[in-house]
Amino acid sequence: MAGGMMRMAALLGGCFTLANVAVAQDSSADLAKKLSNPVASMISVPFQFNYDRGYGPEDGNRETLNIQPVVPISLNDDWNLISRTIMPVIWQDDIAGPSGQQFGLGDITQSLFLSPRHPGPGGLIWGLGPVFLIPTATDDLTGSGKWGAGPTGVALKQEGPWTYGLLANHIWSFAGQDDRADVNSTFLQPFLSYTTHDAWTFTLNTESTYDWEGDQWSVPVNVMVGKLVKFDQQPVSFTAGLRYWADAPENGPEGLGFRFVVTFLFPQ
């Protein structure tokens, strides 16, 4: 893992060196602010890499690459339907005691938000819709084995350089493998970000999950910094940061992890 950490550090250094590429500051800052809005009217394709450790008695580790395309669909002059997909590709080692290594897909989470095209009174931006859990995992230890569904919503405001809000959902399982535990979980993601005029973005959030079946919290706190640059006319955002597990189930992750994200943007 030490070699992998050194390679990741070199990659981060190279990416942030590229951040010195000349960009049109105003338009890049606007795009960076849109990227902080989960229901912005813009196609984006983030590739989000996460490393976490401390699983179980063997101090297991997990690397997850979340592929997260966001696609807005214009319904009319007043409304958008925003599709947000999370498809995890997982590498893990001894996360459940001496359970060996697994590599493959996790479960896909698919959200759909009906959202006004323009902010409402007081500048409120919001979206509501359904969320679906799709059992695409290729191994019992990378997924739930259950189909699930429930409501999801987001509300936020953007004032000057600041973006703040909350994204939430709740998923209940309704079908799947009978010998697997039911899914009954609430996800809460409060977020706060600050975007500078030259398209740097500083973000603080949590991605907390409460498991009502197991009566336990998972609370990673993420601190991240990102920079939006342009290669020719293609906007790309690079983000890196640390995550701290403030709370987790017994045998869950602990301590510090890290995150690195490359996001391709396709403004409409």
Confidence of residue 238 (pLDDT cuts 50, 70, 90): very high
Any residues with CB less than 8 A from the CB of 8 and at least 6 apart, and which? 258, 260
Flag whether pLDDT at 17 surpasses 50.
Answer: no
Residue ranges of the alpha helices (H) in the chain?
A: 2-18, 25-35
Domains and CATH numbers, the chain: 2-267 (2.40.160.40)
Q: Report yes or no on whether pTM surpasses 0.85.
A: yes
pLDDT at 250: 87
C-alpha closest to that of 48 among 240, 234, 178, 247: 240
C-alpha closest to that of 132 among 59, 181, 83: 83
Per-residue pLDDT of 149-190, as tens digits, reads 999 999 999 999 999 999 999 999 999 999 999 999 999 999
Confidence of residue 16 (pLDDT cuts 50, 70, 90): very low
Full 3-state SS string of 119-152: CCHHHCEEEEEEEEEECCCCCHHHCCCEEEEEEE
Per-residue pLDDT of 31-90, as tens digits, reads 999 999 999 999 999 999 999 999 988 889 999 999 999 999 999 999 999 999 999 999
Confidence of residue 4 (pLDDT cuts 50, 70, 90): very low
pLDDT at 117: 92
Task: Please report, to the nearest 10 degrees, the dihedral formed by the alpha carbons of residues 70, 76, 77, 82 taken in order.
Answer: -20
